[in-house]
Amino acid sequence: MTDRADLPEHWVEFEADAEHVRREREKARNLRETAWWKRRVQRGLCAYCGKPFPPRELTMDHVVPIARGGRSARGNVVASCKPCNTAKKLLTPAERLLLARKHSEREEPD
């Protein structure tokens, strides 16, 4: 993953709707208490790297970040290890793949 300084500006600069963020964080807290979420975490697998982790080490990650308009709903949250969740930041998985590809192309010798 590249540093934030390497990201195109249009991917990191945006106006987050404070009310939307507050509302969705509350929904996320409620979702963490559901049997559905508890089953997800009990699987013990990070959705991004696929590595096994103890359930207590998995966090809830919003695939489309709340700050970018994402929702706290089953289709938009996954169990993620802390390193993957931290590395993802405010990017979508597709953006991470594009950046990884761009980064690897810069490192390849001609």
Among 37-41, 80-84, 99-103, which is the least confidently predicted range? 99-103
Among 3-7, 20-24, 40-44, 64-68, which is the least confidently predicted range? 3-7
Share of the chain above pLDDT 70, in %: 82
| pLDDT (0 to 100) of residue 1 | 42
Measured torsion, CA atoms of residues 62, 64, 72, 83, in degrees rounded to the nearest 10: 10
> Identity (one letter) of the amino acid at 35?
A
Domains of the chain and CATH, by start: 7-101 (1.10.30.50)
| pLDDT (0 to 100) of residue 92 | 87
| pLDDT (0 to 100) of residue 13 | 59
> Given pLDDT bands bounded at 50, 70 and 90, which one contains residue 106?
low
Token digits for 13? 């600069």
CA separation for the pair 68, 35 (Å, rounded): 27
CA separation for the pair 29, 99 (Å, rounded): 31
- Mean pLDDT value across residues 22-42: 96
Between residues 97 and 1, the one the model is more confident about: 97
- Mean pLDDT value across residues 86-106: 82
DSSP 8-state symbol, 36 = H
Long-range pairs, 20-24, Cβ under 8 A, ≥24: 20/66, 20/69, 21/66, 21/67, 24/62, 24/66, 24/70, 24/71, 24/72
66 exposure class (CB count in 10 Å sphere: 0-12, 13-18, 19+): buried
